[in-house]
């Protein structure tokens, strides 16, 4: 099987695989994004719908946890959204949860938009939890592997959307805390993500522009985990409690 077929199969059937850089030989980061795009094209051809994008490895905590010190981006599909606060574990291998801030665009963002234009295109923000589930054994990978695996994307839960701009809320001063079964695992501030949420969004926008894509009205962006990620199991109650924009919980 090709690299894309191997990862597609692992995602579809929720089974662990060896790193594709081991089984198929090394490849570059641009090639890895090419494989990611091919993988997403396959899902879209089957009826999946792109709901947005995510940035990853944007905080120090995550870079240290995964041993990779450069941000990456991946694609969110509608079917990844956790509905009614209920996460289905059937298609998950060894999932982890991480606290994030989500933004939703109210208008399309043209290529070459400035950071100010980008911020003006945000319609809402919300507390979020990303559920990541690397297809690679023991959740270990190189940057090329994880990019090809659509950056471990597998699920995301979003709380109540808050209209943006929101009086008294600074995008970079939102305190988030992740808890599992009522026990706080970690907390941090939203500026942990590349020093500012807008820096993360702008980096995503620039990367998409280079790929000939753009952020569109209605799309959701996860700007990256503020803290490390924590292993979760069926039945766990997982929350991201923020100080300014509410809470999101799933089980
Ligand atoms: C890669 C995805 C990282 C984040 O928010 O940092 C990510 C991984 O850790 O498996 O989504
Ligand atoms: Mg994430």
- The residue behind tokens 């946890």 is 65
C-alpha 120 to ligand 2 mean position (Å): 23
Residue bearing the CA closest to ligand 1, atom 11: 56
Instruction: Please tell me if the CB atom of residue 32 comes closer than 6 angstroms to any atom of ligand 1.
Output: no
Instruction: Please tell me if the CB atom of residue 61 comes closer than 6 angstroms to any atom of ligand 1.
Output: no
Which pLDDT score, from 0 to 100, does residue 194 have?
A: 96
H or E element in which residue 69 lies: none
DSSP-derived pairing of the beta strands 238-242 and 175-180: antiparallel
Buried b (16+ CB within 10 A) or exposed e, 216-229: eeebbbbbbbbbbb
Instruction: Please tell me if the CB atom of residue 98 comes closer than 6 angstroms to any atom of ligand 1.
Output: yes
C-alpha 167 to ligand 2 mean position (Å): 27
Mean pLDDT of successive 10-residue segments in the chain (251 residues)? 98 97 98 98 98 97 93 98 97 98 97 94 98 98 98 98 97 98 98 97 96 96 98 98 98 98
Question: In terms of Cα–Cα distance, which of 108, 136, 134 is closest to 122?
Answer: 108
C-alpha 245 to ligand 1 mean position (Å): 22
Instruction: Please tell me if the CB atom of residue 99 comes closer than 6 angstroms to any atom of ligand 1.
Output: no
Point out the ligand nearest to the CA of residue 141: 1
Which pLDDT score, from 0 to 100, does residue 61 have?
A: 94
C-alpha 123 to ligand 1 mean position (Å): 24
**Phi and psi (nearest 5°) for 152?**
65, 10
C-alpha 59 to ligand 2 mean position (Å): 10
């Amino acid at each position: 099987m090709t690299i894309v077929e191997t990862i597609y199969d692992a995602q579809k059937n929720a089974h662990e695989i060896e790193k594709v850089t081991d089984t198929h030989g090394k490849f570059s980061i641009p090639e890895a994004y090419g494989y990611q795009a091919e993988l997403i094209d396959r899902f879209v051809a089957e009826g999946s719908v792109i709901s947005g994008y995510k940035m990853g490895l944007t905080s120090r905590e995550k870079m240290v946890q995964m041993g990779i010190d450069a941000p990456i981006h991946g694609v969110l599909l509608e079917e990844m959204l956790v509905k009614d606060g209920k996460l289905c574990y059937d298609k998950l291998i060894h999932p982890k949860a991480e606290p994030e801030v989500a933004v939703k665009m109210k208008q399309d963002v043209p290529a070459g938009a400035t950071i100010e234009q980008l911020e003006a295109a945000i319609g809402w923000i919300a507390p979020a939890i990303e559920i990541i589930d690397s297809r690679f054994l023991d959740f270990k990978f190189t940057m090329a592997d994880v990019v090809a695996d659509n950056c471990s994307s597998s699920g995301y839960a979003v709380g109540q959307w808050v209209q943006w701009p929101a009086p008294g809320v600074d995008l970079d001063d939102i305190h988030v805390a992740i808890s599992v079964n009522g026990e706080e695992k970690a907390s941090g501030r939203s500026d942990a993500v590349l020093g500012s949420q807008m820096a993360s969004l702008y980096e995503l926008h620039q990367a998409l522009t280079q790929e000939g894509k753009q952020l569109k009205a209605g799309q959701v962006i996860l700007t990256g985990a503020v803290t490390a990620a924590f292993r979760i199991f069926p039945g766990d109650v997982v929350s991201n409690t923020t100080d300014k924009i509410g809470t999101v919980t799933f089980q």
